Structure 1
Amino acid sequence: MANKLDVRVTIDVQGRAVAAAAVQDKAVGQALAQMGNEVGTKLATAKCPEHGQGPTDVRIHVARGGKADLRYESCCAKLRDVVGGLLG
């Protein structure tokens, strides 16, 4: 079992999606990377009870106002329910 999933984190900077590692303010970049690591750790155990698959292509985009949007690919609604339960 994986310790964490890879989570791609981007933030809106002047209308462009910028990767956490490319953010000029290193404190902001580190906070975004930490958010991705925490979500990846929580989702590492997520498995669909019907298909046995976990979420894939996990990504978080932080909009201009600070609202974070989590997106991922899932096999079905049952996996979405599992993910929702893990993230609260």
Structure 2
Amino acid sequence: IGLWTPSNSTIGILGYVKYFYRESDFVVIIYCTEHGALLSKPVPTNDPTFISRLANEEETEIIKLLNHFKAKLLEAKQQLPNMFILLISYFFHS
């Protein structure tokens, strides 16, 4: 059974709050923002590049995704101002 735990940290300039879903062999990082939640791909816990990849590649991907969703969300809010929208995106690196 996995465990949700807050990481007590933020990344980048947009103030993400990171959550970890940890099981025996992998971790999934959850970034919660006012616009919704973004999920990272599962990362093996024995991966020595875990921290550097989160700090570099995945942060860049998340910023790109969030900027894209922000634009879409603003469009939707103009059309449906009273509707609450939660965006969840999975992304995978090749």
Higher share in helix: 1
Q: Same fold, TM exceeding 0.5?
A: no
Structure with more contact order per residue of length (Cα contacts < 8 Å, sep ≥ 6): 1
Rg larger in structure: 2
TM-score computed with the length of structure 2 as normaliser: 0.38
TM-score computed with the length of structure 1 as normaliser: 0.40
